[in-house]
Structure 1
Amino acid sequence: MTQIRRSNERGHANHGWLESYHSFSFASYYEPDWMGYRSLRVINDDIVMPGKGFGTHPHQDMEIITYVLSGQLEHKDSMGNGRVIKPGDFQYMAAGTGILHSEFNPSDDEAVHLLQIWIQPDKSGVTPRYAERQMADAETGLWHLAASKDGRDDSMAIHQDADLSLARLEKDQKIGYSLGSDRHAWLHLAEGSIELNGKVLEAGDAAYLSGEERLQIKATTNAQVLLFDLA
């Protein structure tokens, strides 16, 4: 079974310095039918204006992954990490027992476009930790594992039975994915347009699947696809 969630069905907030689209209920956007999918709790599609950002704020007991699509995002946290993450960079924090962090667009003239993802951990009270994975030069037409429970294939190890993979596709490239009969998938199209098992998806669209033996994707423009393989 494949169900589509269109980009224009998401929650939307425009704060001037921040424009955000919410795949699931978040902040003032509340939709009881969209509280998350399996362990996936948040996908916020954010555009942050130059010189603006999120001041220092706390998190606890959440797996937080950020992926930058364009522009730059400066990160600082109470673990002592300070980094500017760039297009193609994944960043991960296990909030665990509690962290403070800030996210700021350091540019004077370019907005930053990012996806912020929250995954519910399989246990609470873990020690906070931080990791990164750079995929700006990832080969097109292949799945690249960004995060997983066991940290295999040099992916970021997270506290949940969830695999997050990225595929960067050029126009007309095709790619498949086999989903186990007891697994569930959420596919988020970050950029471009594709056909998923014959259904057309545009940037910002998503699809959720259960029990599909095979996903078939064809890019109709250059595209970036995020796929969550979930218990």
Structure 2
Amino acid sequence: MRTTLYRAGSRGYADHGWLKTYHTFSFAGYYNPERIHFGALRVLNDDHVEGGSGFGLHPHSNMEIFSIPLKGALAHTDSMGNSGVIGENEIQVMSAGKGIQHSEYNASEVEPVEFLQIWVFPNQENVEPRYDQIKINPESRKNRWQQIVSPSAEEKEGTWIYQEAWFYLADLDKNKVLDYTRKGETTGLYLMVLEGEVEIAGQTLQRRDAIGIEDVRQITVKSLEDSFLLLMEVSLL
């Protein structure tokens, strides 16, 4: 087993006034040659956007892009004709493919929105752009892994992307032990503690700490207090 720790305090940080953001991997003005990506996982930004502010219309291509609101809601528009609001217990995914433009604004003029922005390299380029937005039931992640992303549109749980990747959320009670068995043959595991504290692979992780794990088939997570987790299994090729 090989592990890489990503402590919360080691992330890149930028304060733009309207936007406060932490970058796990090199992004915008933050560059760390040892923090470019974890396999197909290219971007993991922890964003805080003030009321009435947001990201104006801008382009993307050949990237799988996710927004996961943790607090508040985002107002979305794009060049595919989609518009709407994404709130807590919802997930947005876009396959940028051969090219899209989109904007993401705080849906509130007053309250801040906090969300994760995640980019994954696709395994197919120049596909027709697509958009999906799903609701997820928080009860379905109580002391279990709730699948929110997979590589197949045929999966009954969550949404899908153009990559060998599976994403999960879990709400664990204190002292709960949860195993996860890797699905892919050439994948790695990336676990981020959104809230709480856990033990995994001989390490103790606290709020916003993360760990990348390679060369192991199964992991075991023990919550040291009530915890909210994001687990991503992604291709390492």
Short-chain TM bin:
over 0.9
Task: Give runs of aligned pairs for residues 41-56 of structure 1, distance below 5 A.
Answer: 41-56=42-57
Secondary structure in 2 matching 1:55: strand
Determine which of 146, 155, 158 is the counterpart of 2:158: 155
Task: Give runs of aligned pairs for residues 74-223 of structure 1, distance below 5 A.
Answer: 74-139=75-140, 140-151=142-153, 152-179=155-182, 182-223=186-227
Give the AA of the match of 2:228.
Q
Which residue does the alignment assign to 1:69? 70
Give the AA of the match of 1:209.
I
Which residue does the alignment assign to 2:40? 39
CA shift for structure 1 position 182:
4.1
Distance 1:208 1:29, change over 3 A: same
Of 79-88 and 116-125, the range deviating more from structure 2 = 79-88
Give the AA of the match of 2:158.
S
Asked if the contact 1:76/1:82 (under 8 Å) is kept, the reply is: yes
Asked if the contact 2:136/2:158 (under 8 Å) is kept, the reply is: no
Secondary structure in 2 matching 1:226: strand
Of 27-36 and 217-226, the range deviating more from structure 2 = 217-226
Asked if the contact 1:64/1:92 (under 8 Å) is kept, the reply is: yes
Asked if the contact 2:134/2:159 (under 8 Å) is kept, the reply is: yes
Asked if the contact 1:189/1:224 (under 8 Å) is kept, the reply is: yes
Q: Which residues of structure 1 form unaligned runs of 5+?
A: none
Asked if the contact 2:151/2:166 (under 8 Å) is kept, the reply is: yes
Give me the whole-angstrom Cα distance separating, in 2, the residues matched to 1:138 and 1:131.
22
Which residue does the alignment assign to 1:15? 16
Give the AA of the match of 1:138.
E
CA shift for structure 1 position 87:
1.1
Asked if the contact 1:94/1:128 (under 8 Å) is kept, the reply is: yes
Of 58-67 and 130-139, the range deviating more from structure 2 = 130-139
Secondary structure in 2 matching 1:153: coil
Secondary structure in 2 matching 1:154: coil
Structure 1 runs of 4+ aligned residues shifted over 3 Å read: none
Which residue does the alignment assign to 1:2? 3
In the alignment, is residue 224 of structure 1 matched against residue 225 of structure 2? no
Give the AA of the match of 2:51.
P
Q: CA RMSD in A?
A: 1.5
What is the total number of aligned residue pairs between the two structures? 231
Q: Which residues of structure 2 form unaligned runs of 5+?
A: none
CA shift for structure 1 position 191:
2.0
Q: Per-residue CA shift, 1:34-72, capped at 9, x if unaligned?
A: 110111100000000111100111111100011111111
Give the AA of the match of 1:105.
N
Secondary structure in 2 matching 1:30: coil
Secondary structure in 2 matching 1:165: strand
CA shift for structure 1 position 183:
2.8
Identity level (%): 39
Give the AA of the match of 2:203.
K
Asked if the contact 1:74/1:84 (under 8 Å) is kept, the reply is: yes
Distance 1:83 1:222, change over 3 A: farther
Secondary structure in 1 matching 2:216: coil
